[in-house]
Amino acid sequence: MKYRRSGRLVDMTEYLLRHPHQSVSLTFFSEKYNSAKSSISEDIGIIKEVFEQKGIGRLATSAGVSGGVIFVPTIDDKEALDTVHSICEQLKDPSRLLPGGYLYMMDIIGDPERMQLMGRIFASYFKDAQVDVVMTMATKGIPLAYAVASHLNVPVSIVRHEQRVTEGSIVSINYVSGSSQRIQTMSLSKRSLQSGARVLIIDDFMKAGGTIRGMMDLSEEFQATVVGAGVLMEAMHDKEKLVDNYVSLTKLFGVDAKDKKIHVEKGNMFP
Amino acid sequence: MKYRRSGRLVDMTEYLLRHPHQSVSLTFFSEKYNSAKSSISEDIGIIKEVFEQKGIGRLATSAGVSGGVIFVPTIDDKEALDTVHSICEQLKDPSRLLPGGYLYMMDIIGDPERMQLMGRIFASYFKDAQVDVVMTMATKGIPLAYAVASHLNVPVSIVRHEQRVTEGSIVSINYVSGSSQRIQTMSLSKRSLQSGARVLIIDDFMKAGGTIRGMMDLSEEFQATVVGAGVLMEAMHDKEKLVDNYVSLTKLFGVDAKDKKIHVEKGNMFP
């Protein structure tokens, strides 16, 4: 069956969006649509123009017989900033104040569309970091980690506090939670991280950075390289953080339980 | 700025894929592209034809002044069955056998592309169930739950064994784990489930069904209605299951630790 250009454009757009960071050969599309490579090349040119103009992503093309295309997801600067601003506004809602100065955030973490947007922001930021795997800490970091990983086309490694019989051999380390100064244990299944892998650490919240520091040390046990870290929210506090190399989407400056004020602003990713 | 049809098709395809189960008015597209509604209607017709032919989804259109379109994700029957067959093949790998007859599954659960495919399978199956929220049990059900929820455009409620200070008021119930007969506790934040909500339960693994039975009872505490349940794997065993109304992607018939054989087949979703 032969496809007309309009049908090809719809189907190719869908295919590329579902296969980020993967090289797709012109031959593949040419056979899929029973169309000449020259027509496929023109289609890709049209998609590329729209994707780049709208900030949807980059289409990196390579020429020649083995020529192909790779879709690299990005996000429009304005859309990224709008997303973060709207999260900040939502976070200022005093009804999310909990006893002990904690903030209820499950409505934001529980929203898959929001998570996908934040995932795109991080995937765009780390698009050239050659990430092999996204690492996160159970439980609340998991949704954001998957959103980032799905846009980078890499697997997720889930670090846990407790050990599970369903994980096989594990590597455990002790670490010091930076804010409470308590010694805790974190574990990762031996099979879930390859030696030499390039790791991107993603988590929902960072205070002193003890957990992320722990994941960095754990990665070292696997001879893996941490290429960066990203958090949905960092809490600003007086002491020096235990990690330098991280980006945050939002900054929590403080919570005033008496006046019911939550002071939150965009994170260090946005200058 | 005026868009040509080819550019509109690419951008509308991307927009619809990112906004499943949401009504988008023709006026919205017409203003977005500075194009006549008649042209937008034709574009939608082209996208609809490709989406339906490829099993990507349904485009439900409504006519008239307030006319619009809703993208309902589906998956091609063959793609769904191929996905499940390939998971079964992967699961048969004897190297995933762990002491005690457990199976290592984190490589499958850790693969976001696989999760997205399985999410589409469940979202397609439950597309007309008017799901308001996807419920899952921490930790391993979370990735699949988000994949399903993102295709249904609904939030996720995460039930936990332990209580967290960051959840606010919670509702807890005791339940009996069907396979071990142990009494356990599960909790859900009061804010994370509305009274009257239609709940779809998603989990990675079901044996006797005690955990899912517990989530059904917990939903009742919130005056919510469970519209169905879906699991990545169900373990076949002699006793009667504690739930009837569920679908599974795969069935685990047994594990032979001595001969290193894992007997797994497609689940009850596929007749």
Rounded Cα distance, B157 and A191, in Å: 29
B chain contacts of residue A45, beta-carbon cutoff 8 Å: none
Rounded Cα distance, B121 and B77, in Å: 9
The CATH-assigned architecture of domain A5-73 is Orthogonal Bundle (1.10)
Confidence of residue B180 (pLDDT cuts 50, 70, 90): confident
For A169-208, give the DSSP string: SEEEEEEE-TTT--EEEEEEEGGGS-TT-EEEEEEEEESS
Q: Which pLDDT tens digit goes with each residue over A129-153?
A: 999 999 999 999 999 999 999 999 9
Closest CA to A184 of A161, A165, A203: A161
Q: Which pLDDT tens digit goes with each residue over A170-205?
A: 999 999 887 778 899 999 999 999 999 999 999 999
Rounded Cα distance, B10 and B24, in Å: 16
Q: Which pLDDT tens digit goes with each residue over B59-76?
A: 998 876 677 999 999 999
Rounded Cα distance, A117 and A119, in Å: 5
A 75-114 → B contacts, CB under 8 A:
98-100, 102-107, 110-113
Is B258's pLDDT higher than 80? yes
Q: How far is B238 from chain A (nearest CA, A)?
A: 22
B chain contacts of residue A46, beta-carbon cutoff 8 Å: 6-7, 10
Nearest CB among B6, B17, B140 relative to A9 is that of B6
SS3 of residue A25 by DSSP: strand
Closest CA to A255 of A236, A232, A231: A236
Q: Give the pLDDT confidence score for residue A165 in this predicted structure.
A: 76
B chain contacts of residue A93, beta-carbon cutoff 8 Å: none
Q: Give the pLDDT confidence score for residue A2 in this predicted structure.
A: 61
Contact A157 B110 (CB under 8 A): yes
HSE toward the beta carbon, residue A270, CA cutoff 13 A? 18
Rounded Cα distance, B108 and B115, in Å: 8
Ordered by start, the domain boundaries in chain A are 5-73, 77-266
Q: How far is A155 from chain B (nearest CA, A)?
A: 5
The enclosing H or E element of B218 equals helix B210-221
Rounded Cα distance, B138 and B191, in Å: 17
Share of chain A above pLDDT 70, in %: 97
A chain contacts of residue B13, beta-carbon cutoff 8 Å: 9-10, 13-14
For chain A, helix, strand, coil in percent to 5 are: 40, 30, 30
Q: What is the mean pLDDT of residues B195-204?
A: 98
C-beta atoms surrounding A231 within 10 Å: 28
Contact B139 A143 (CB under 8 A): no
B 212-271 → A contacts, CB under 8 A:
none
Disruptive mutation site among A41, A90, A150 for chain B (greatest number of B CBs within 10 Å)? A150
Query: What single DSSP character describes residue A53?
Result: H
Closest CA to A260 of A94, A60, A24, A67: A94
In the numeric block, which tokens belong to residue B182?
């142990």
Q: Do B34 and B27 contact (CB within 8 A), yes or no?
A: no
Rounded Cα distance, B262 and B256, in Å: 6
Closest CA to B160 of B232, B215, B90, B213: B215
Is B1's pLDDT higher than 60? no
A 131-190 → B contacts, CB under 8 A:
138-140, 142-143, 146-147, 149-150, 153-158, 160, 165-168, 189
Nearest CB among B17, B138, B168 relative to A17 is that of B17
Rounded Cα distance, B226 and B198, in Å: 6
The enclosing H or E element of B176 equals strand B170-176
B chain contacts of residue A44, beta-carbon cutoff 8 Å: none
* CATH class for the domain made up of A77-266: alpha beta
Q: Do B1 and B31 contact (CB within 8 A), yes or no?
A: no
Disruptive mutation site among B103, B150, B232 for chain A (greatest number of A CBs within 10 Å)? B150
